[in-house]
Amino acid sequence: MRASGLGYLFLLSLAGNLNAQFDDPFGGGQAGGIAKPATVAKLLLSHSEAKPGSTVMAGLELTMDDGWHTYWINPGEAGIATDVEWTLPNGVSAGPIQWPTPEKFTALGSIGYGYHDKTILLVPLTIGADAALGQATISGKVSWLECKELCIPRDQQVSAMLTIAGRDARSADAAKLDAAKQKLPKVDAKLAVSARWDGEAKEDERSLLIEFDAGQAGTDADFFALPSDGFEVSPESEVAAAGAANVRIKKTVMKFEGAWPSEVSGLAVRNLKDHDKTEAFEVKFPIYTLTSGDAGTTVLQTPPGADRPLWRMLLYAFIGGLILNVMPCVLPVISLKILGFVNQSRESPARVRLLGMLYGAGVVVSFLVLAGVVIGVKSAGELASWGMQMSNPQFVVLLTVLILLVALNLFGLFEVTLGSVGVAAGSVAGREGAGGAFFNGVLATVLATPCTAPFLAPALGFAFTQTAAVIVLMFVTVALGLAFPYVVLSWNPKLLRFLPKPGSWMERFKVAMGFPMLATGIWLFTVSIDYYGGRVLWFGIFLTVIAMAAWVFGEFFQRGIKRRGLALGIAGALALGGVVFGLEGQMQWRTPVDPSQAKADVVQDFPGGIRWHRWSLEAVAEAREAGQPVLVDFTAKWCLTCIANKKTSLDIESVRTLLAKKNFKVFRADYTRRPDYITKELHRRGRAGVPLVLVFPRDKTSQPEMLPELLTPDIVLSALNKAAG
């Protein structure tokens, strides 16, 4: 609170105590002439009996006389938050107070946050595994400030008995505490909240605009900030509608020391006037700064990226694009390029250079399209991310079909030529051709986007917070890094001398390269399971029919002599029938499984594997409050790097043993369907996509360690041991 508020509160408290002492000068009905407290505290326990290793919920019930109030954790302009000093038996520890949603009121000339009539402050009590059995006295000294026309500091001893035994038994107050839990703010990371500075600072004060979805509440909404040591968010608010269901709230931030804050936490509150309908959400969000964008437009720039020089991020983008060439996603395309280089050894140097440039052009054009998509998504007010097209079920289906056809082409079932399909200037098996070179660049980009690489992740995290011009520049730089090795080899034929001479072996090599491409198709097929559930069986049948159509087309139309028209008709009928009956009719590929359907809270990839809990900010906070170190894996089924990390470095015997020994809580943030609440957390961590692995120390005040994109067992084990202390 402000210094002036403290002084004002001190005078009020002093006056209150003096007034209370002289209220009844003869002490009639009051001990020693001191006024009776207007608030009574009582300790409630959710259990009468509890087992060692369990958690019991304690409730500090404060009952206030009519017209009196006590204060929230952030009292506002003047006030003191309620506190408790515990006296607990060995083996029992208390967590922080869990505060119900407060009211906002004006009292004694100041705006405050607090409670009237009756409230229950919840406190989790952890019964240690080594706690002694028998009767245990849970007691504490509760201190609060009660105010009406005057303010009086009070305190009271409270206690309750708990039996630590071999069983759990709920108490008579359990239902009351369950009802109190319903009044706690919701931890809803899906609530989209944005904030930005509104103009420059005036000395130590600065205006802040906060915007979120107020639903049906309209402008009957507000933001209650949590207290902070370095700054204060004023309780005063200017509230206005911001289009659709959004509300925009203007606050004043006063800075006490250090730099201006880069993020704020508190409660987004709806329906303030109707207490029966009031709902609050715990939120934590970054503060953005307004900067000038293209054509005089205004964009938001996040402070974490502001101190990163553009030249360094461009260097990271180029190196990251270069490293993408050896990531699992792009390996199938590398095999095609090797085959292309062997074929090109018979070409003139000028044509080899042309094909290399066309491959690079295919990569650059594809990345420009991706940049345009990102800019469009951001302009529409949505959250953009790296590889976001892989979260589109229909895109995955089409890409799977394309990869299958490429594999079948490599196996020789049919040839892709201008005369047959018109998508390339030559077959993959023969002379590569201009169209084939460009197509390989596009395919490399499509397969690269589900992956991130060292250096690339921070570069993309920076890019997604910048203006449209910077986004385009960053994406083109990544493209240049991805295309660089092949363009250099094309312009320096001497570097290709290590390749063998063309010969009959090339046909066998081409067929061999079809297998990694087919493996890519199988991987994409498994991704579609998450989108279509049991209906994916019909997708498998459709792919089989398409493969049969490709065989008929190649064997009887391209290489056939008689009845080629009939063969073409049969191939077309098979393909059309597969689409109409398989995709549209049975699979219903336009209507994937609803991503909002509940999933298991705990998943295990194989018997004996890690038991992954479903990630949420609330779940991580609860685990850290309980003193557990935490491992979080942000992953997706379409991310091959994520899968490789899990197989080689995360879900392995040595890591599982250490996780169990050090009592880690392990969470998985499944980004397969690209939920917004995970996108926001990735952006908050400076990342534009997965993989991201975080290790939170046992000390809840410490920041998590962010592991590299490519993991090894030693990296993981070292981070886990460090976090466990």
Task: Record the tokens describing residue 626, joined without a space.
Answer: 């309980």
CA distance 468 to 303: 17
Name 487's Cβ contacts closer than 8 Å, sequence gap at least 6.
356, 357, 359, 360
Residue 44: phi, psi to the nearest 5? -115, 145
8-state DSSP, 79? -
Write out pLDDT tens, residues 437-452: 788 888 888 877 777 7
User: Would you kindly state where each structural domain of the chain is located, as residue ranges?
Assistant: 38-177, 187-292, 310-587, 602-724
pLDDT of residue 600: 76
CA–CA separation, 686 and 286 (whole Å): 11
Cis preceding-peptide flag for 261 (omega within 30 of 0): no
600-to-297, 426, 475, 613, 670 alpha-carbon distances in Å: 45, 49, 37, 9, 12
Domain 602-724 fold is Glutaredoxin (3.40.30)
- Give the least confident one: 262-271, 333-342, 555-564: 333-342
Residue 612 has pLDDT above 90, yes or no: yes
The b-or-e profile of 23-53 (16+ CB within 10 A means b, else e) is: eeeeeeeeeeeeeebbbebbbbbbbbbbbbe
Strand pairing category for 279-292 and 602-604: unpaired
Confidence grade of residue 500 (pLDDT, cut at 50, 70, 90): low
Average pLDDT over residues 328-347: 66
pLDDT of residue 307: 47
* pTM (global) more than 0.85: no
159-197 confidence digits (pLDDT tens): 999 999 989 999 999 999 999 999 999 875 567 788 888
Mean predicted confidence (pLDDT) in 237-266? 83
Give residues with Cβ within 8 angstroms of 96, minimum separation 6: 123, 625
Is residue 160 classed as helix, strand or coil in its secondary structure? strand
Each residue of 358-397: pLDDT tens digit?
888 999 999 999 999 888 887 765 667 788 888 889 999 9
Asked which of 67-71, 148-152, 432-436, 550-554 is least confident by mean pLDDT, the reply is 432-436
Query: Comparing 171-180, 253-262, 282-291, 497-506, which segment has the lowest mean pLDDT?
Result: 497-506
Q: Specify the higher pLDDT residue, 467 or 620.
A: 620
For residues 293 and 287, the answer to whether their CB atoms sit within 8 Å is no
Find the range with the poorest average confidence among 307-316, 422-431, 538-547: 422-431
**Domain 38-177 matches domain 602-724 at the CATH topology level:** no
Crossing angle (nearest 10°) for helices 310-324 and 456-463: 130
Mean pLDDT of 324-350: 69
pLDDT band for position 414 (50/70/90)?
confident
Q: What confidence tier does 685 reach under pLDDT thresholds 50, 70, 90?
A: confident
Q: Any idea which fold 38-177 has?
A: Immunoglobulin-like (2.60.40)
> 80-99 burial, b for 16+ CB within 10 Å, e for fewer?
bbbbbeeeebeebeebebbb
Structure-block tokens of residue 231: 């700054």
Of 135-139, 301-305, 642-646, the one with minimum mean pLDDT is 301-305
Reading the block at residue 368, the tokens are 């420009």
Average pLDDT, the chain: 83
Sign of CA dihedral 522, 528, 533, 537: negative
pLDDT at 35 over 80: no
The amino acid at residue 360 is G
Please state the rounded mean pLDDT for residues 87-115.
91
Percent of the chain with pLDDT over 70: 83
As a whole number of angstroms, the distance between CA 228 and CA 317 comes to: 36
What mean pLDDT do residues 510-538 have? 89
In angstroms, the CA 179 to CA 641 distance is 45
Give the mean model confidence (pLDDT) for residues 83-107: 93
Confidence at residue 350, expressed as pLDDT on a 0 to 100 scale = 82
pLDDT at 233: 94
- Mind listing the pLDDT tens digit for each residue in 275-330? 788 889 998 888 876 543 333 333 344 444 444 678 888 998 999 888 888 776 67
Confidence of residue 346 (pLDDT cuts 50, 70, 90): low
- Residue 679 reports pLDDT greater than 70: yes
Residue 428 is predicted with a pLDDT of: 38
User: Which secondary structure element, helix H or strand E, spans residue 133, and what is its range?
Assistant: none
d(CA 334, CA 337): 5
Say what the pLDDT of residue 108 is. Answer: 73
**Mean pLDDT of all residues in 227-232:** 88
At the second CATH level, the architecture of 187-292 is Sandwich (2.60)
**Nearest C-alpha neighbor of 20 from the set 7, 9, 5, 32:** 32
* Percent of the chain residues topping a pLDDT of 90: 44
Q: What is the mean pLDDT of residues 596-609?
A: 81
Instruction: Identify the H or E element spanning 388.
Output: none
The whole-number pLDDT of residue 646 equals: 94
pLDDT value, residue 343? 65
CA distance 547 to 526: 18
**Whether pLDDT at 406 is above 90:** no
Confidence of residue 32 (pLDDT cuts 50, 70, 90): very low
Whether residue 345 is predicted with pLDDT greater than 90 in this model: the reply is no
| Residue 371 structure tokens | 């940049």
Decide if pLDDT at 90 tops 80.
Answer: yes
Mean pLDDT of 633-647: 90
d(CA 647, CA 652): 7
CB 268 within 8 A of CB 223: yes
Query: Residue length, the chain?
Result: 725
Q: Is the pLDDT of residue 551 over 90?
A: yes
